Amino acid sequence: MEGFDASYRLKGEFSILHVSAHSCMLLLVSDDLSVVTIARVIMKHLPKFPEERQKAILARLTNSGRVVALELAREFATSEDTIRRDLRELAKAGLCQRTYGGAILNSPASGTFTERQNLAHERKVRLARTAVGLIKPGQLVFLDSGTTNLEIARALPANLKATVATNAPNIALAAMSSPEISVIAIGGMINRLTSSAVGSWAVRDVETVTIDLCFLGVCALSSDSGLRGFHLEDVEFKKTLLARSNVTAAAVTSDKLETSAPFQIAGLNLIDHLILEASVDAKMLKRFKKPGLSVHRSSKT
C-alpha cells in the first residue's frame, strides 16, 4: 500500500493522519470516527510478533543496506528498546551487524576465493576496466588478493609498461600475460581461504617495497566504518599495504556496500579512489562522497 496523508477539518481544527505500508501516525486525534477507524484498520496490519518484525526489518536491511532504530520504532509503532532487541536477535543469528543507533547487513563475501570467483563476473570486469584507467606508465602497482583485483590484472593493457606486485599467485599469473608488465610475487604461506600469502613473511616482503598505487581487496564497505575484512591475518597485511602505498584505491561490487565484516582495515579517510558500479543509486553514492575521496563509476556495459 502506498503511503498517503489525509486531513480532516473539524470545528476549525485539522486532524492529520499519515499512513504507510508499515505505520500510521495520528498527529491530532479527534472525535472523527473515520480517522480513528482508518488508524485501527492499519494497526491490524502492523507486525505484532518479534518474528514478523524481524522478518520485515531484514527485508528493509536487504533493500537499503542499513536501518535506524528510531525510524523503525516509528514505522512499526513500537519502542526503540523493542527494535534494539530485534536487532540484537538478528545480529546473534549472523544476519546483521549492530551499529550506533541501528544496524547494517553482514557482507556476503565471506566465502573462499574459489567460491566467489565466478559470482557477479561481468560486473567485476566492468569495475576492472574503470580501475586500470588509474594506472600510469612506470608505476609500481600492488594488486591485493581478491576476485575483482584478479579482473584488474586481466584487464591490464598489452602496451602498459609498469610493475605489478601481488601476494596472490593467480593474480601474478594473470599479470604476466601482459608482455610489458614486470611482476613481483610476495611470498609466504598461502591462505586457502583468500588464495594469497599473508602472515609475517608476506608482511616482511611488502615492507621492502614502495607502492605507487595499491588496489586493496575489500570484503565489506561501510560509509561509517570504512573498509573491513573477515580474516585477521589478511586484514593486518592490508594495513601494511596502506602504510607502504602513496595512493590507495578499492573497486567494490554493490553487494558489499553498507555491509560489515569483523575486522576494520581502514576508514574511508585513508582511501584515495573508490570505484563503484554504475547501478549505484544517488542516495547510496552520496554516503561515500567524502573529502579527499574520488569516487569513480564503472560503465553500464
| Side chain identity, residue 167 | N
Confidence of residue 47 (pLDDT cuts 50, 70, 90): low
Residue 5, pLDDT > 60, answer no
Among 189, 161, 188, residue whose Cα is nearest residue 175? 161
d(CA 190, CA 196) in angstroms, rounded, equals: 5
Give yes or no for a contact between 63 and 76, defined as CB atoms under 8 angstroms apart. Answer: no
Interval 147-199: pLDDT, tens: 999 999 999 999 999 999 999 999 999 999 999 999 999 999 898 888 899 98
Confidence of residue 247 (pLDDT cuts 50, 70, 90): very high
Residue 264, pLDDT > 60, answer yes
Residue 20, pLDDT > 80, answer no
Confidence of residue 32 (pLDDT cuts 50, 70, 90): low
Residue 265, pLDDT > 90, answer yes
Q: Sort 249 into a burial class: Cβ within 10 Å, 0-12 / 13-18 / 19+.
A: buried
DSSP 54: H
Give yes or no for a contact between 107 and 259, defined as CB atoms under 8 angstroms apart. Answer: yes
Interval 88-142: pLDDT, tens: 888 877 777 787 888 877 766 656 666 666 778 899 999 999 999 999 999 999 9
Lowest mean pLDDT among 42-51, 87-96, 200-209: 42-51
- Name the average pLDDT for the chain: 83
Strand 162-166 relative to strand 140-143, pairing:
parallel
Question: Does this model's pTM top 0.85?
Answer: no
Give yes or no for a contact between 121 and 90, defined as CB atoms under 8 angstroms apart. Answer: no
Predicted local confidence at residue 209, as pLDDT: 96
Catalogue all structural domains in the chain, each as residue range(s) with its CATH number.
Answer: 1-46 (no CATH), 52-105 (1.10.10.10), 113-297 (3.40.50.1360)
Query: Which value, to the nearest 10 degrees, does the dihedral of the CA atoms of residues 275, 125, 110, 197 take?
Result: -90
- The angle at the Cα of 252, spanning 195 to 99, to the nearest 5 degrees, equals 100
What are the CA-CA distances from residue 98 to residues 52, 243, 265 (Å)? 19, 29, 18
Q: What proportion of the chain, given as a percentage, has pLDDT over 70? A: 79
Residue 215, pLDDT > 70, answer yes
Q: Mean pLDDT throughout 292-296? A: 97
